[in-house]
Structure 1
Amino acid sequence: MKNYYTNLSAEILSVAQSNGDTTSLRRQLYFTRADKLEKNLNTDDLKKTFWINIYYAYFLIQKKEHVDQDRIKTFKRIRIAGTAISLNDIEFGILKKSTLRVGTIHFENIFHSKFVNKMAISEMDYRIHFVIQSITLKNIKFNFYDTDLLDDQLQETMKNFISQKLIKVPSFK
Protein backbone atom coordinates (compact mmCIF):
# COMPACT_ATOMS: atom_id res chain seq x y z
CA MET A 1 0.00 0.00 0.00
CA LYS A 2 1.60 3.25 -1.14
CA ASN A 3 1.03 6.30 0.99
CA TYR A 4 2.32 9.80 0.31
CA TYR A 5 3.49 10.38 3.88
CA THR A 6 5.22 7.03 4.35
CA ASN A 7 6.97 7.58 1.01
CA LEU A 8 7.98 11.09 2.11
CA SER A 9 9.37 9.72 5.39
CA ALA A 10 11.39 7.11 3.48
CA GLU A 11 12.67 9.80 1.11
CA ILE A 12 13.75 12.06 3.98
CA LEU A 13 15.51 9.11 5.59
CA SER A 14 17.24 8.16 2.36
CA VAL A 15 18.55 11.70 1.84
CA ALA A 16 19.64 11.91 5.50
CA GLN A 17 21.52 8.60 5.18
CA SER A 18 23.44 9.96 2.20
CA ASN A 19 24.23 13.20 4.07
CA GLY A 20 22.15 15.18 1.58
CA ASP A 21 20.11 18.32 2.16
CA THR A 22 16.70 17.45 3.61
CA THR A 23 15.51 21.04 4.01
CA SER A 24 12.89 21.07 1.24
CA LEU A 25 11.51 17.68 2.29
CA ARG A 26 11.32 18.75 5.94
CA ARG A 27 9.56 21.93 4.83
CA GLN A 28 6.85 19.78 3.23
CA LEU A 29 6.30 18.06 6.58
CA TYR A 30 6.18 21.35 8.44
CA PHE A 31 3.48 22.79 6.17
CA THR A 32 1.36 19.61 6.18
CA ARG A 33 -1.90 20.04 8.02
CA ALA A 34 -2.26 17.84 11.11
CA ASP A 35 -5.75 16.68 10.13
CA LYS A 36 -4.50 15.64 6.69
CA LEU A 37 -1.60 13.72 8.25
CA GLU A 38 -3.96 12.03 10.70
CA LYS A 39 -6.41 11.12 7.91
CA ASN A 40 -3.66 9.58 5.74
CA LEU A 41 -1.95 7.72 8.59
CA ASN A 42 -5.14 5.93 9.57
CA THR A 43 -3.75 2.53 10.60
CA ASP A 44 -1.15 1.55 13.17
CA ASP A 45 1.09 0.08 10.45
CA LEU A 46 1.07 3.36 8.49
CA LYS A 47 1.78 5.30 11.68
CA LYS A 48 4.60 2.96 12.72
CA THR A 49 6.18 3.08 9.27
CA PHE A 50 6.00 6.86 9.04
CA TRP A 51 7.18 7.59 12.58
CA ILE A 52 10.01 5.01 12.64
CA ASN A 53 11.40 6.48 9.40
CA ILE A 54 11.00 10.03 10.76
CA TYR A 55 12.68 9.08 14.04
CA TYR A 56 15.60 7.48 12.20
CA ALA A 57 15.95 10.41 9.77
CA TYR A 58 15.90 13.09 12.46
CA PHE A 59 18.28 11.09 14.64
CA LEU A 60 20.76 11.16 11.74
CA ILE A 61 20.06 14.82 10.93
CA GLN A 62 20.62 15.92 14.52
CA LYS A 63 23.81 13.86 14.82
CA LYS A 64 25.08 15.56 11.66
CA GLU A 65 24.23 18.96 13.17
CA HIS A 66 26.29 18.03 16.24
CA VAL A 67 23.42 18.34 18.68
CA ASP A 68 24.57 17.62 22.25
CA GLN A 69 24.38 13.83 22.55
CA ASP A 70 23.04 14.01 26.11
CA ARG A 71 20.09 16.10 24.94
CA ILE A 72 19.53 14.85 21.39
CA LYS A 73 16.31 13.06 22.33
CA THR A 74 14.78 15.92 24.30
CA PHE A 75 15.28 18.88 21.92
CA LYS A 76 12.02 19.84 20.24
CA ARG A 77 13.68 20.38 16.85
CA ILE A 78 11.40 18.24 14.70
CA ARG A 79 8.73 20.35 13.05
CA ILE A 80 5.76 18.50 11.60
CA ALA A 81 2.35 19.98 10.83
CA GLY A 82 3.36 23.27 12.45
CA THR A 83 4.24 21.52 15.72
CA ALA A 84 7.67 21.16 17.30
CA ILE A 85 8.32 17.72 18.81
CA SER A 86 11.33 15.77 20.05
CA LEU A 87 12.65 12.27 19.45
CA ASN A 88 11.28 11.39 22.91
CA ASP A 89 7.83 12.63 21.84
CA ILE A 90 8.00 10.27 18.86
CA GLU A 91 9.35 7.32 20.84
CA PHE A 92 7.30 7.55 24.02
CA GLY A 93 4.30 9.58 22.90
CA ILE A 94 3.58 8.22 19.44
CA LEU A 95 5.31 4.86 18.98
CA LYS A 96 4.96 3.67 22.56
CA LYS A 97 1.41 4.91 22.98
CA SER A 98 1.72 8.08 25.05
CA THR A 99 3.83 6.78 27.87
CA LEU A 100 5.77 8.82 30.40
CA ARG A 101 9.10 7.38 31.40
CA VAL A 102 10.05 7.62 35.07
CA GLY A 103 13.27 5.68 35.50
CA THR A 104 12.54 2.31 33.96
CA ILE A 105 8.77 2.48 34.50
CA HIS A 106 6.37 3.79 31.84
CA PHE A 107 3.07 5.50 32.64
CA GLU A 108 0.42 6.98 30.39
CA ASN A 109 1.40 10.61 29.92
CA ILE A 110 -1.46 13.07 30.14
CA PHE A 111 0.90 15.97 29.40
CA HIS A 112 1.61 15.16 25.75
CA SER A 113 0.33 17.66 23.23
CA LYS A 114 -2.90 17.10 21.32
CA PHE A 115 -0.80 16.51 18.20
CA VAL A 116 1.22 13.70 19.82
CA ASN A 117 -1.92 12.10 21.25
CA LYS A 118 -3.66 12.18 17.84
CA MET A 119 -0.66 10.65 16.10
CA ALA A 120 -0.12 7.88 18.69
CA ILE A 121 -0.58 4.26 17.71
CA SER A 122 -3.62 2.57 19.22
CA GLU A 123 -1.96 -0.71 20.25
CA MET A 124 1.50 -1.04 21.77
CA ASP A 125 4.01 -3.10 19.76
CA TYR A 126 6.93 -4.31 21.91
CA ARG A 127 9.15 -4.63 18.82
CA ILE A 128 9.32 -0.83 18.58
CA HIS A 129 11.76 -0.87 21.51
CA PHE A 130 14.21 -2.96 19.51
CA VAL A 131 13.91 -0.70 16.47
CA ILE A 132 14.63 2.44 18.51
CA GLN A 133 17.56 0.79 20.28
CA SER A 134 18.95 -0.44 16.96
CA ILE A 135 18.78 3.10 15.56
CA THR A 136 20.49 4.72 18.53
CA LEU A 137 23.17 2.00 18.65
CA LYS A 138 23.74 2.29 14.87
CA ASN A 139 22.89 -1.36 14.39
CA ILE A 140 20.01 -0.90 11.96
CA LYS A 141 19.54 -3.47 9.24
CA PHE A 142 17.06 -1.71 6.93
CA ASN A 143 17.51 1.47 4.90
CA PHE A 144 13.89 2.37 5.62
CA TYR A 145 10.72 0.73 6.85
CA ASP A 146 7.96 -0.11 4.38
CA THR A 147 4.31 -0.61 5.32
CA ASP A 148 4.01 -3.70 3.09
CA LEU A 149 7.01 -5.34 4.79
CA LEU A 150 6.63 -3.84 8.25
CA ASP A 151 5.78 -6.96 10.25
CA ASP A 152 8.71 -8.89 8.77
CA GLN A 153 11.06 -5.92 9.23
CA LEU A 154 10.06 -5.49 12.88
CA GLN A 155 10.55 -9.21 13.54
CA GLU A 156 13.93 -9.21 11.81
CA THR A 157 15.09 -6.12 13.70
CA MET A 158 14.05 -7.66 17.02
CA LYS A 159 15.80 -10.96 16.27
CA ASN A 160 18.93 -9.18 15.03
CA PHE A 161 19.07 -6.93 18.09
CA ILE A 162 18.63 -9.82 20.53
CA SER A 163 21.21 -12.00 18.78
CA GLN A 164 23.74 -9.12 18.74
CA LYS A 165 23.18 -8.49 22.45
CA LEU A 166 23.58 -12.18 23.29
CA ILE A 167 26.91 -12.30 21.48
CA LYS A 168 28.27 -9.23 23.29
CA VAL A 169 27.34 -10.28 26.83
CA PRO A 170 30.53 -10.88 28.84
CA SER A 171 30.80 -14.16 30.64
CA PHE A 172 31.44 -14.16 34.36
CA LYS A 173 33.25 -17.31 35.45
Structure 2
Amino acid sequence: MKRIILLFMFVSAFFFGGCAQIKINVTDKQINEKLSENFPLKKTFLVFELACNNPQIILTEGTEKVTISVDAKVGVNMMNNIMPIGDGTIQATSGLKFNTDTGELFLNDCQVDKLDIKNIPAQYTEQITELTKFTNTTLTGLLSQHPIYVLESKDRDVDTIIGKFKLQDMQIQNGKLVLTMGK
Protein backbone atom coordinates (compact mmCIF):
# COMPACT_ATOMS: atom_id res chain seq x y z
CA MET A 1 0.00 0.00 0.00
CA LYS A 2 2.85 2.37 0.87
CA ARG A 3 4.37 1.71 -2.53
CA ILE A 4 1.14 2.71 -4.29
CA ILE A 5 0.92 5.91 -2.24
CA LEU A 6 4.55 6.76 -3.01
CA LEU A 7 3.99 6.09 -6.69
CA PHE A 8 0.86 8.29 -6.63
CA MET A 9 2.83 11.09 -4.94
CA PHE A 10 5.59 10.73 -7.53
CA VAL A 11 3.10 10.90 -10.41
CA SER A 12 1.34 13.89 -8.81
CA ALA A 13 4.64 15.70 -8.53
CA PHE A 14 5.12 15.24 -12.26
CA PHE A 15 1.66 16.44 -13.19
CA PHE A 16 1.33 19.30 -10.75
CA GLY A 17 4.93 20.21 -10.02
CA GLY A 18 5.96 20.61 -13.63
CA CYS A 19 8.84 18.17 -13.22
CA ALA A 20 9.38 16.44 -16.52
CA GLN A 21 12.52 14.39 -15.99
CA ILE A 22 13.49 11.15 -14.36
CA LYS A 23 16.96 9.67 -14.05
CA ILE A 24 17.54 5.97 -14.31
CA ASN A 25 20.84 4.59 -13.03
CA VAL A 26 22.17 1.41 -14.62
CA THR A 27 25.19 -0.34 -13.14
CA ASP A 28 27.88 -2.20 -15.02
CA LYS A 29 26.78 -5.34 -13.15
CA GLN A 30 23.25 -5.04 -14.60
CA ILE A 31 24.65 -4.53 -18.11
CA ASN A 32 27.11 -7.42 -17.78
CA GLU A 33 24.35 -9.79 -16.62
CA LYS A 34 22.23 -8.96 -19.69
CA LEU A 35 25.21 -9.05 -22.06
CA SER A 36 26.26 -12.49 -20.75
CA GLU A 37 22.96 -13.96 -21.98
CA ASN A 38 24.33 -13.80 -25.54
CA PHE A 39 27.52 -15.72 -24.76
CA PRO A 40 29.37 -17.92 -25.51
CA LEU A 41 29.67 -16.83 -29.14
CA LYS A 42 31.31 -19.05 -31.74
CA LYS A 43 32.05 -18.08 -35.31
CA THR A 44 33.98 -19.82 -38.07
CA PHE A 45 36.31 -18.05 -40.49
CA LEU A 46 37.97 -20.18 -43.18
CA VAL A 47 39.40 -23.05 -41.07
CA PHE A 48 39.44 -21.05 -37.82
CA GLU A 49 36.91 -21.05 -35.03
CA LEU A 50 36.72 -18.02 -32.77
CA ALA A 51 35.02 -18.67 -29.44
CA CYS A 52 34.22 -15.71 -27.20
CA ASN A 53 33.09 -15.83 -23.59
CA ASN A 54 33.01 -13.85 -20.36
CA PRO A 55 32.09 -10.39 -21.68
CA GLN A 56 32.78 -7.45 -19.38
CA ILE A 57 31.56 -3.90 -19.91
CA ILE A 58 33.70 -1.13 -18.49
CA LEU A 59 31.93 2.22 -18.09
CA THR A 60 34.13 5.20 -19.00
CA GLU A 61 33.41 8.19 -16.74
CA GLY A 62 32.00 11.35 -18.36
CA THR A 63 31.25 9.83 -21.76
CA GLU A 64 28.69 7.77 -23.61
CA LYS A 65 31.39 5.23 -24.55
CA VAL A 66 31.98 1.82 -23.04
CA THR A 67 34.81 -0.67 -23.34
CA ILE A 68 33.98 -4.32 -23.84
CA SER A 69 36.48 -7.02 -22.95
CA VAL A 70 35.88 -10.61 -24.06
CA ASP A 71 37.89 -13.79 -23.47
CA ALA A 72 38.71 -15.40 -26.81
CA LYS A 73 39.96 -18.77 -27.98
CA VAL A 74 41.09 -19.57 -31.50
CA GLY A 75 41.10 -23.07 -32.89
CA VAL A 76 41.66 -24.75 -36.23
CA ASN A 77 38.97 -27.03 -37.61
CA MET A 78 40.66 -30.33 -38.50
CA MET A 79 38.02 -32.64 -39.97
CA ASN A 80 35.25 -31.33 -37.67
CA ASN A 81 37.52 -31.43 -34.64
CA ILE A 82 38.59 -28.07 -33.22
CA MET A 83 42.27 -28.02 -32.29
CA PRO A 84 43.05 -25.06 -29.97
CA ILE A 85 45.93 -22.88 -31.16
CA GLY A 86 45.71 -19.78 -28.95
CA ASP A 87 43.73 -17.78 -26.45
CA GLY A 88 43.60 -14.27 -25.10
CA THR A 89 41.29 -11.27 -25.13
CA ILE A 90 39.43 -9.02 -27.49
CA GLN A 91 38.85 -5.43 -26.50
CA ALA A 92 36.36 -3.14 -28.23
CA THR A 93 34.99 0.36 -27.76
CA SER A 94 31.37 1.21 -28.41
CA GLY A 95 28.84 3.95 -28.22
CA LEU A 96 25.38 3.35 -26.83
CA LYS A 97 21.95 3.63 -28.43
CA PHE A 98 18.68 3.65 -26.49
CA ASN A 99 15.38 2.57 -28.04
CA THR A 100 12.71 4.58 -26.19
CA ASP A 101 9.85 2.50 -27.60
CA THR A 102 11.18 -0.80 -26.23
CA GLY A 103 13.29 0.44 -23.30
CA GLU A 104 16.31 -1.41 -24.68
CA LEU A 105 19.92 -0.26 -24.66
CA PHE A 106 22.22 -1.40 -27.48
CA LEU A 107 25.89 -1.12 -28.34
CA ASN A 108 26.35 1.18 -31.32
CA ASP A 109 29.31 1.83 -33.64
CA CYS A 110 31.31 -0.92 -31.95
CA GLN A 111 34.96 -1.15 -33.01
CA VAL A 112 37.50 -3.83 -32.05
CA ASP A 113 40.57 -2.02 -30.71
CA LYS A 114 42.72 -4.97 -29.74
CA LEU A 115 42.87 -8.68 -30.53
CA ASP A 116 45.48 -10.16 -28.21
CA ILE A 117 45.73 -13.88 -28.89
CA LYS A 118 48.79 -15.60 -27.43
CA ASN A 119 50.57 -18.79 -28.47
CA ILE A 120 49.58 -18.58 -32.15
CA PRO A 121 52.05 -20.65 -34.19
CA ALA A 122 54.07 -18.59 -36.67
CA GLN A 123 52.52 -20.43 -39.60
CA TYR A 124 49.16 -18.79 -38.82
CA THR A 125 50.38 -15.18 -38.42
CA GLU A 126 49.06 -14.03 -41.80
CA GLN A 127 45.69 -15.66 -41.27
CA ILE A 128 45.37 -14.04 -37.83
CA THR A 129 45.52 -10.63 -39.53
CA GLU A 130 42.51 -11.67 -41.61
CA LEU A 131 40.88 -13.10 -38.48
CA THR A 132 41.23 -9.66 -36.85
CA LYS A 133 39.26 -8.07 -39.70
CA PHE A 134 36.68 -10.85 -39.49
CA THR A 135 36.44 -10.37 -35.72
CA ASN A 136 35.82 -6.67 -36.11
CA THR A 137 32.86 -7.11 -38.44
CA THR A 138 31.44 -10.29 -36.92
CA LEU A 139 31.81 -9.68 -33.21
CA THR A 140 30.74 -6.06 -33.39
CA GLY A 141 27.77 -7.03 -35.57
CA LEU A 142 26.66 -9.69 -33.11
CA LEU A 143 27.13 -7.42 -30.11
CA SER A 144 25.05 -4.63 -31.64
CA GLN A 145 22.10 -6.93 -32.47
CA HIS A 146 21.20 -7.82 -28.88
CA PRO A 147 20.21 -5.39 -26.13
CA ILE A 148 22.75 -5.03 -23.33
CA TYR A 149 20.10 -3.74 -20.94
CA VAL A 150 16.31 -3.52 -20.82
CA LEU A 151 14.53 -1.14 -18.45
CA GLU A 152 13.15 -3.04 -15.51
CA SER A 153 9.40 -3.17 -14.96
CA LYS A 154 9.58 -0.73 -12.04
CA ASP A 155 11.14 1.85 -14.40
CA ARG A 156 8.63 1.12 -17.15
CA ASP A 157 5.62 1.40 -14.75
CA VAL A 158 6.42 5.07 -14.22
CA ASP A 159 6.84 5.46 -17.97
CA THR A 160 3.44 3.89 -18.63
CA ILE A 161 1.59 6.00 -16.05
CA ILE A 162 3.10 9.33 -16.98
CA GLY A 163 3.26 8.81 -20.71
CA LYS A 164 6.07 8.06 -23.11
CA PHE A 165 9.32 9.63 -22.07
CA LYS A 166 12.15 10.29 -24.50
CA LEU A 167 15.85 9.98 -23.81
CA GLN A 168 17.27 13.44 -23.20
CA ASP A 169 20.77 12.56 -22.04
CA MET A 170 22.94 9.53 -21.45
CA GLN A 171 26.19 9.79 -19.50
CA ILE A 172 28.40 7.70 -17.31
CA GLN A 173 28.66 9.21 -13.85
CA ASN A 174 30.00 7.74 -10.61
CA GLY A 175 30.45 4.30 -12.16
CA LYS A 176 26.85 4.13 -13.45
CA LEU A 177 25.16 4.79 -16.75
CA VAL A 178 22.65 7.59 -16.10
CA LEU A 179 19.71 7.81 -18.51
CA THR A 180 17.87 11.11 -18.22
CA MET A 181 14.34 10.68 -19.53
CA GLY A 182 11.92 13.53 -20.16
CA LYS A 183 8.84 14.58 -22.06
Could you say whether these structures have the same fold, taking a TM-score greater than 0.5 normalized by the shorter chain as the test? no
- TM-score, normalised on structure 1? 0.25
Greater share of residues in helix: 1
Structure with the bigger percentage of strand: 2
Normalized against structure 2, the TM-score is what? 0.24
Larger gyration radius, structure 1 or structure 2:
2
